[in-house]
Chain A
């Protein structure tokens, strides 16, 4: 069975500090991985996905198959990055049903 673990419920940093939101997964094959974000009073939306290998709003995430991780990183946090972040896994070739982690609340202090 596939599983996504986000070990931190809350991450609190100061503006300008580096940020790393952890995501570990359990899946026997090669999964598709996503980060979704939910800003205050907004709906859940895609931030980035690993197959795109892109940087969005300064965030990047690298899939590490050896460590089964997909941590989200940003070198210099901004106050507007404060939000809930969810890591999600999909089994490729299937019905595209994602498994979500429980989420990490990022708070960036001024």
Chain B
């Protein structure tokens, strides 16, 4: 079956522009995560959904960042008034949260955001 799909793969934005990044998780996966990965660093947690409920958004760096998953499937990460420090790869991962498969995360290819 299809894996986690993210779009767009690349996004160039001018400083101050709003952007929206999309994530299509694996069908049936309950949990969805967003990460920010700066160059030379590991993924940093941003926010977590279980179905449509956003259970943790402690990693969002500012109130310019907003995420939603209204129907418990597709999720959108929105960044308002982008700044240069927002330039990074944004990764989405989904997880079945199954007693046997547990909490293995399945990652998308990421969206590379460059803010000029």
Q: Is B116 an interface residue (CB 8 A)?
A: no
A4, A46, A51, A95, most chain B CB atoms within 10 A:
A95
Residue of A nearest to B47 (CB): A97
Q: How far is the CB of A71 from chain B (nearest CB, A)?
A: 17
Q: Which of A44, A90, A100 contacts B44 (CB 8 A)?
A: A100
Contacts of B35 in A (CB 8 A): 100
Kindly list chain B residues whose C-beta atoms are within 8 Å of the C-beta of A46. 104-105
Q: With both chains docked as a complex, state the minimum distance between the C-beta of B8 and any C-beta of chain A, in angstroms.
A: 15
Asked whether A44 lies within 8 Å of B104 as measured between CB atoms, the reply is no
Q: Interface code B17-58, partner A: CB below 8 Å = 1, 0 otherwise?
A: 000000000000001010100001111110010100001100
Give Cα distance in the complex from A47 to B73, angstroms: 26
- Neighbour of A98 across the interface among B4, B41, B105, CB < 8 A: B105
Interface digits, A43-87 against B, CB 8 Å rule (1 contact, 0 not)? 111100101000000000000000000000000000000000010
